[in-house]
Structure 1
Amino acid sequence: MQKNKKLFLLLFGIFMLIILYVSYDISKRTTFPGSKGNLKERISSEVESEKK
C-alpha cells in the first residue's frame, strides 16, 4: 500500500506542475479586460485605419 501511495503522490505532483505551467502560460498570453478601454472606440479606430 505504501508503494501505491508514493506513486499516486508522484503522479499528482506532476499533474499539478503541468496545470500550473498551462495556467501561467495562458495568463501571460492574455490581457486583463479592464485594461483595453472602450470597445466601441477601439473598433471604430481600427476600421478607420483600414480605410486609409
Structure 2
Amino acid sequence: MTKSKKIFLALFVVFMIIILYISYDISRRTTFPGSKGNLKERITDQVEK
C-alpha cells in the first residue's frame, strides 16, 4: 500500500470511531418516545373518555 492510502485508511478509521461514539452518546441520552409513561396528551385523552 502506498503512503497516501495508509493515511486515508487511518483517517477513515478515526472518523468512524468518532461517528460511532457520537451516535452512542446521543442514543444513550435520549429515550424511546413510547417509553415515556404518562404524557399530558395521554392523561387528557384518558380523562375525556
Unaligned runs of 5+ in 1: 43-52
Q: SS at 1:31's partner residue?
A: coil
Deviating beyond 3 angstroms after TM superposition, the runs of 4 or more aligned structure 1 residues are none
Equivalent residue, structure 2, for 1:8 = 8
Normalization by structure 2: what TM-score? 0.74
Distance 1:23 1:7 in 2: 24
- Percent of residue pairs bearing the same amino acid type: 71
The Cα shift of 1:13 comes to: 0.3
Query: How many pairs are equivalent?
Result: 42
Equivalents in 1 of 2:37, 2:29: separation in Å? 18
SS of residue matched to 2:8? helix
Residue matched to 2:47: none
Q: TM-score, normalised by structure 1?
A: 0.70
